[in-house]
Structure 1
Amino acid sequence: MRSVHLSTVIHRSAAEVYAYAADLDNLPRWAGGLTESAVVRDGDDLVTESPMGRIRLSFAPPNDLGVLDHDVTLPSGETTHNPVRVLQHPEGAEIVFTLRQLGMTDDELARDAALVQADLDRLKELVEATAR
């Protein structure tokens, strides 16, 4: 099993990037690889329609460390853990998403990596477009 670390530098403070990304109402705006549908709160979890079907999301509690880890429970019941960090960077912030291969083929991993990178790039565009 391989891990791929995908990242992008965002020209805003780590606090601004974290605040935007952690606001679950913003999720459909930037995480199209995960969901483009409305997100419904179900207790501490979120439920949404994704390209994979109906999924359940569970995020790390709000924190000052830039941790945006989340578990995704697929329609099959399988749960994957996704480590995500917002780090300080000399040019603002860097968001890093760790994608694990698990049961995917190399082609599937490459496809998922491209989707995640597109999401991170969309997050960059949105956050950089917001006024300071």
Structure 2
Amino acid sequence: MCRDWCELYERLWRPEAFPEWASGLSEAGLEQDGEVWRARGPEGPVTIRFTGHNPFGIMDHWVELGGGREVYVPLRVIRNGEGCLVTLTLFRWPEMSEDSFAADAAWIERDLQTLKKLAEESRP
């Protein structure tokens, strides 16, 4: 179990912290551009909007992939007793194949495992 949910949220909520565990951003050169962040995604440039700091542990973000496609990623740090639970919802687009969705899910699983290690290593 990880540390106190507020401590973990405070460590992770800033967009600059996402590349520590989100592999799609770790080599992407995430750069702020006003209210949005820009990065180089696997399929080309992406624009990301992040939920601002809040007392609820919400770290939702919207990834604009170009061509009018935008992916909404709900992400939460939720109190669970003395620790916390991090949840990320992955939506399957209607035009997405089962194989493509499975690949995305596997990628997210690897990223969440990295996040888990980060949270456990930084426990007091």
**TM-score between both structures, scaled by the size of structure 1:** 0.84
Which runs of no fewer than 5 residues in structure 2 stay unpaired?
none
Is the contact made by 2:37 and 2:49 (CA closer than 8 Å) also made in structure 1?
yes
Identity among equivalent pairs (%): 33
1:72 corresponds to 2:60 = no
For 2:118, the equivalent position in structure 1 comes to 126
Is the contact made by 1:20 and 1:127 (CA closer than 8 Å) also made in structure 2?
no
Aligned length: 123
**TM-score between both structures, scaled by the size of structure 2:** 0.89
SS in 2 for 1:111: helix
For 1:93, the equivalent position in structure 2 comes to 84
Comparing both structures, which one devotes a greater share of its residues to strand?
A: 1
Q: Which moved more, 1:17-26 or 1:91-100?
A: 17-26
In the TM superposition, 1:1-132 aligns within 5 A as 10-90=1-81, 92-102=83-93, 103-132=95-124
Q: Report deviation, 1:91.
A: 5.4
| Bigger RCO (CA 8 Å, 6+ sep) | 1
Runs of 4+ in 1 over 3 A off after TM superposition: none
Distance 1:57 1:73 in 2: 6
Distance 1:125 1:67 in 2: 20
